[in-house]
């Protein structure tokens, strides 16, 4: 169970990482997160129990390289539609000869600025690559995507998927829900962990029963906004 971090603030990241979630994900796709802001949040979460992940904006190799050099071990890539695209993502996350990641770990946080002497020898086995299936095209290619060597988990994006299917405002309609459930089964049948993010708690047990092992259950922006508004409403109701 994990928390999405969209606000881009180290203090919020530290609170979330120590709150009891299994993982926290810094969102570089939809949050206003520069490299410096991601770096600050990773440092703030260091030493707290939650594992850390980062979602990049797109599948560009240079983006993946920069984030990995910050010491990220779990990387999430959105909008992966084909096995070929998934293979490019994996290659960008691996050092040669398995991939094309540029070598400069000794100058970066990834190796604690050179103190982890064997970082480049061990990183390929320690980086977790998660790709997101968020379109009808991705679902058509899902078995092939999940079977790409080096793809460690496939994450279904229900909001974008339901919109792509014509159900932008009703992601829990029968057709997108059936597609999501079939996708989760396909991922599991390929022997890979399945992931999803959903903000309706009533759905969580259903997804767990379908084999989901990486589930986003909230986002800092939504949680903070809800709590602040609830406090304001309560004070207005009580004191005018």
Residues catalogued as catalytic:
30
Query: DSSP secondary structure string, 179-211?
Result: HHHHHHHHHHHTT--EEEE-S-GGGHHHHHHTT
Counting Cβ atoms within 10 Å, is residue 198 exposed (0-12), middle (13-18) or buried (19+)?
buried
- The dihedral of CA 156, 160, 166, 167: what is its sign? positive
Q: Are 75 and 128 in contact (CB under 8 A)?
A: yes
| Cα 5 to Cα 25: distance, rounded to the nearest angstrom | 6
């Amino acid at each position: 169970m994990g928390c999405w971090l969209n606000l881009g603030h180290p203090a919020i990241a530290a609170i979330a990482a120590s709150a009891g979630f299994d993982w926290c994900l810094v969102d570089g796709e939809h949050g206003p997160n520069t490299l410096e802001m991601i770096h600050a949040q990773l440092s703030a979460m260091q030493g707290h129990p939650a594992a850390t992940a980062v979602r990049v904006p797109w599948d560009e190799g240079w983006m993946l390289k920069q984030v990995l050099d910050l010491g990220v071990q779990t990387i999430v890539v959105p909008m992966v539609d084909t096995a070929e695209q998934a293979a490019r993502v994996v290659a960008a996350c691996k050092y040669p000869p398995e991939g094309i990641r540029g070598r400069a770990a000794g100058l970066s946080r990834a190796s604690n600025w050179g103190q982890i002497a064997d970082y480049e020898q061990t990183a390929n086995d320690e980086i977790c690559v998660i790709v997101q299936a968020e379109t009808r095209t991705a679902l058509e290619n899902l078995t092939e995507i999940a079977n790409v060597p080096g793809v460690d988990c496939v994450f279904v994006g229900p909001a974008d998927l339901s919109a792509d299917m014509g159900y932008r405002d009703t992601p829990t309609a029968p057709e997108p829900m059936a597609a999501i459930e079939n996708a989760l089964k396909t991922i599991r049948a390929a022997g890979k962990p399945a992931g999803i993010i959903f903000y309706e708690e009533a759905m969580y047990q259903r997804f767990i029963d379908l084999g989901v092992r990486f589930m986003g259950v909230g986002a800092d922006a939504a949680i903070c906004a809800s709590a602040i508004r609830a406090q304001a409403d309560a004070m207005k109701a009580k004191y005018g």
